[in-house]
């Protein structure tokens, strides 16, 4: 598998960013929803610290992914009606935007609570806003609603990929799978 993308395939780096970020976001989202199941306050604090560190990792990976995406090529679009191509571009733009906004909103929420933000207990990051009890609930709500909006956009994204794979029989999904084999021009697997 090549590192760089070409006109038919996503490269190994692009695929790695895609799947690592996707799994980190989904896992951290589920983890965030389950934090209330902690057995004691100390466990909840530790889980919250881990949730924050994973969120910061997602932010860093998304920034690296954007830098790589700017440098890397991309496969040509599969033939489709114009509205589908526009919807795909809009969905991808929303996914990138939300994958950046979600950890930033968490950082903002942490900042307005006035608590320290540690990255895996290695070092502290500065707040991006001053402590402000009046903004605490708003920041939490923004963080939570961004998560649910991201889930909605992800459902559309996965649904479209499955539609291309199952009903259209094209390579949209195959070329992003870690070990996906593309069909050749005759519709057979290459």
- Tell me the three state secondary structure of residue 182: coil
Minimum mean pLDDT among 3-7, 40-44, 160-164, 178-182: which range? 178-182
Q: What is the pLDDT of residues 48-71, one digit of tens each?
A: 999 999 999 999 999 999 999 999
pLDDT recorded at residue 173: 92
Confidence of residue 184 (pLDDT cuts 50, 70, 90): low
Q: What is the pLDDT of residues 86-115, one digit of tens each?
A: 999 999 999 999 999 999 999 999 999 999
Task: Answer whether 5's CB lies under 8 Å from 14's CB.
Answer: yes
Residue 186 has pLDDT above 60, yes or no: no
Which is more confidently placed, 59 or 186?
59
- For the chain, where are the alpha helices, taking DSSP H only? 12-34, 41-71, 82-113, 133-163
Give this prediction's pTM. Answer: 0.90
Q: How large a percentage of the chain has pLDDT more than 70?
A: 96
pLDDT recorded at residue 36: 83
Residue 185 has pLDDT above 60, yes or no: no
Residue 189 has pLDDT above 50, yes or no: no
Torsion of CA 25, 29, 30, 36, to 10 degrees: 150
Give the CB-side neighbour count of residue 182, counting CA atoms within 13 A: 13
Domains of the chain, each with CATH number or no CATH: 12-168 (1.20.950)
Task: Answer whether 150's CB lies under 8 Å from 98's CB.
Answer: yes
């Amino acid at each position: 598998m090549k590192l760089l993308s070409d006109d038919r395939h996503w490269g190994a780096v692009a695929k790695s960013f895609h799947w690592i970020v996707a799994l980190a976001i989904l896992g951290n989202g589920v983890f965030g929803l389950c934090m209330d199941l902690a057995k004691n306050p100390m466990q909840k604090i530790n889980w919250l610290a881990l949730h924050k560190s994973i969120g910061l990792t997602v932010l860093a990976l998304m920034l690296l992914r954007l830098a790589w995406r700017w440098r890397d090529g991309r496969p040509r679009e599969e033939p489709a009606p114009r509205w589908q191509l526009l919807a795909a571009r809009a969905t991808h733009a929303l996914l990138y935007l939300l994958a950046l906004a979600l950890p930033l909103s968490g950082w903002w929420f942490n900042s307005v609570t006035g608590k320290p933000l540690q990255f895996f207990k290695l070092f502290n990051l500065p707040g991006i806003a001053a402590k402000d009890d009046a903004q605490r609930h708003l920041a939490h709500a923004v963080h939570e609603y961004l998560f649910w909006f991201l889930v909605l956009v992800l459902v559309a994204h996965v649904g479209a990929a499955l539609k291309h794979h199952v009903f259209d029989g094209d390579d949209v999904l195959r070329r992003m799978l870690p070990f996906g084999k593309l069909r050749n021009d005759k519709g057979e697997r290459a």
